[in-house]
Structure 1
Amino acid sequence: MRQHELKLNPLKCAFGVKAGNFLGFLVHQRGVEVDKNKAKAITEANPPTNKKELQRFLGRVNYLRRFISHLAGKTKEFSQVLKLKDSGEFKWEESHQRAFDVIKRYLSNPHVLMPPRPSYRRFLADHPSLDEFIGEQVGFPVCGVGVQPWELKFDGSMEYEALVIGLEILKDLGAREFLLITWDSQLVLKQLSAEFKCTSLSLAPYYTAASQILDDFEEVSLVHVPRQENWEADELAQSNGQAEVSNKVLIKILQKMMEENPRDWPKLLSETLWAYRTSKRTATRVSPFFHTFGHDAVLPLEIMVPSMRVAKQNELSLEHYNEAMIMDLEELDELRIQAYNALVLQKQKVARIYNKRVNKKIFHEGEIVWKAILPIGTKDRELGKWSLNWEGPFKVHKLLDGNAYRLSSLDGHPHKRCINGKYLKSYFPSMREEVGKSCK
C-alpha cells in the first residue's frame, strides 16, 4: 500500500478477519458461500402467476448463477413462457413446476465456491479449451459432496485426455463412491470395459492412467449415449468451435486496421475487441455487449452530442437509474434465449438452403458401385492429370448408420473399412463391356 501510495479509511476497514459478509456473499477460508437471506428469497418463493413474476424470480436466480451448476439447462423449461407477449395467456404447467422445484431444492443446500488449486490453474492455462468443460461436467470449481453419483459426460472428440483429467480432479476432491461415465464413443467405453484391447501406441498411456484411477472408485458404470442425445458435452465442444470462428473474425478486423503499419497491432488490439463486442450481429440484431450488460454501450460521441437515451438517463435520479439497470438484468435471460433461438433458426435456414442442392445417394445391399479414390485429388505419377478418379466396381455388402456402407469385392470378400455414401456412385457398364457381352 505504501509502495503504490494507497490510503484507506481506518473506520471502514477490518484487518485479521477470517470470515465476513462481502457484497452479499459469505467469504471465509474455504471459499465463498451464498448468504442464507439471499437464498431464502428463492427457496421460499411461490410459483409465479404471470410473466412478470417469473422474470423477477429468474432475476434473483441469475444473481446466484455462479453457485448453480448448468443453470441454463435448469431454466430451459421457462423459455416458451418467457416468449409470451403481453396479450398471451400465462400457463404454469407441471414441467415448469418441476424445474421451479429443482432450482429451489438446489439452493436449499448451496455449494461452496472454491478457487482452483495451483495444479489445476497450471493445467487449464495450458488447455484453455477444457476450462469450461471441466468446470461444467464435474462441478468444478463449485465443489460439494452429496448423495447423487459423480457423473462425467464426454464428447467423443476429447477422448482419453479429458477423461484422465476429470478422474484426477474427482480423486483430489475426495470422490470414491459411485461414478457414472457417459460417452458417445463406443470404442473408448469398450476398451475401458475390457471388451476391446487398446492397440494404439498413442492411446496406451491414457488408457493405462484411466484404468489405474478407475480402480480407486468403489463402483464405476460406463454408459454409451448416442451423439444426438449427448447434447451437453456436444454443446461445449461446439462452443470451442464458435470461439475459433470469433478469433478468425478478430484476425480479419485486425489485419484491415494494421495494413499501413503492422507493428502497431498491440495498440490496435483493444480497439478491435471493442469494435467486435459493440457491433450488432446479423442473426441476433444485438451486440455481445448487450447480451452481457442488458443494454448497448454508450459511445463517446453520444456524450459529446447527447443522444436521446443519454438525455433520458440524465433525467433519472440515482435510485430510479439503479432500478432501471436491475430491470434490464432481470430481462437479460429472456433476451439471451431469444438470441439463441434466432441463431438456431438461422442455422436451420442455412441447412435447408444447402440441403436443397445436395442429392442424397442411397444404395442397397448387393448393388454394384464405383468408389472414389481417396484422398480426393490423388494423382498417379505416370498418368498425371489423366489419373482415374474412381476405382472398382465393388458390391455393397452391408448398410450402416449415418449413410455409411461396407463394401466387398465382386467375389464377396468384405472390406475392413466402411465408407461414406458420398464417395460412392452407381455402377453402369461401359460401352466396351456391353459390346463384349453382346459378342459372346
Structure 2
Amino acid sequence: MRSKRLLKSVIFFLACSLLGYARAQAQHSPRYPTYKGLVMAGYQGWFNTPGDSAGRRWHHYEHRGVFKPGSCEIDLWPDVREYKKTYKTDFSYADGTPASVFSPYDESTVFLHFKWMKDYGIDGVFMQRFVAEIRNPSGKKHFNAVLDHAMGAAKKYDRAIAVMYDLSGMRPGEEQLVLGDLDELIKKYDLIKGKKSPTYLHHNGKPMIVIWGVGFNDHRAYGLKEVETLLDTMKAKGFSVMLGVPTYWRAQGQDAVKDEDLHRIIRKSDVIMPWFVGRYNGKSYDQFKGLVSEDVAWCKHNGVDYVPLAFPGFSWKNMNGPRSNAIPRERGSFFWRQVAGAKSAGAEMLYVAMFDEMNEGTSIFKCATTDHLPLNGDGTFVGIDSDLGSDYYLWLTGQAANWFHGKGSYGEEVPERKK
C-alpha cells in the first residue's frame, strides 16, 4: 500500500514538473519566431503638435517652423475621425470646418494604429529610432514615449514589433550612443528573454534589431567601420540583425558605396532590406523588378535572408516644392505590382514603406480622400481616391499579408474589394 502511494506521489511530482517545464518553455517561445511569411511596415512616429505635452510644438508637420496654409511638410492629410485626441490646425475644409491632426505622443493614437494593423491583418511594424533624434533629450523623450505606447499596443493587439535604428545624421563615435540606448531598451523591455515583450519579432532564433543606412554613397559622416561595430556588438548581445542597404548594394552602383567591405559586412548579417522608395514608378517598374530576382539569388548563395520593399506611391511637393517628382498610386495598381513582383522573385517576406509617412506620401494608414481635403493656399494635398476609401491601402496591405501567409488566391491583378 505504502509503495503504491509512493509511486503515485512520484508520478504526480513528475507530471507537475513536466507541466511546469512545458509552461516555462511556452512562455519563452516567441509569438513571432521568424520574419519569414510576414508583411511588416515601417512606423515613423515622429509627428508632434503644440499641446501634446512633448514640448516640441509642430514637428514634421511644419515647413521651416510654420504650419498653416501654404506652409507645411506633409502631402497626405490624416483621416482623424477615429482618434480619441486630435489637435486643431490653421487649415480648414471648403465649408470652413477646422482641420485637425494627431500626435503619436498620445498613447491612444498609437493604440489605434495597432488596432488598425490587427483589423486589416498587417503583421506588425518596425519602430524607427532616429540617431539624430535620440541624441537630444527632447527627441529621446518623444521616441521613448512612442516606443512605450507601441510595445503596449503590440502586446494588446498581438502584432509583431521590432526596433529599427536609422543612422541618418549619425556622427563617428555615436555608434556607442546607439549601443548605450539599446542596452536601455534591453533592460526596460527584456528584449533578449522576451518576458515583457512577448510579440517582439525574432529571426534565426534571436530577437531582431535593424540598422538602417548601411553603405549609402550620399556623403554620410559615418561609414562601414561604425556599422560593423554596431553589427558585431548587437550580434554578441544576442540579436539577429537586419541591415537597411541601398537599392544597388549588390553591383555597388548609383546609390551605393564602391567598397568590397559592404558585401563582407552584409554576409555577417541575418537579413538585408534594400531601400526602393523613389527608384522607379509605374512605367519603369517592369524594367526594375528583375533586380529583385538577382538580389534573392545572391542572398541565397551567401546565406543571407532577403526582404524586398513595396511602397504605395510617393509625393513630397509640400516639403520640396511643386516641381518635385511624384509617383502616382494608380489606384493601388503600382503597389500591388511590387507585391506580385516580390512573390514571383521568390521573396519570403515583405517590408512596406511606410505606415504613417505623410511627408513623402508613402503612408498606408487612413488618410483623407480627394473629396475631403483641407485647403492649402497655393499648394495642394494628395488624397486617396474617394471611391476607394481612406482605409484602402490598409486593406490592400492586409491582402498582401494573406498572400505571404499562403492564404487566398492572388496574382498580378489587384484584388477586388467586396463592398
TM-score (norm 1): 0.24
Q: TM-score scaled to structure 2, two decimals?
A: 0.25
Which is richer in helix?
1
Rg larger in structure: 1
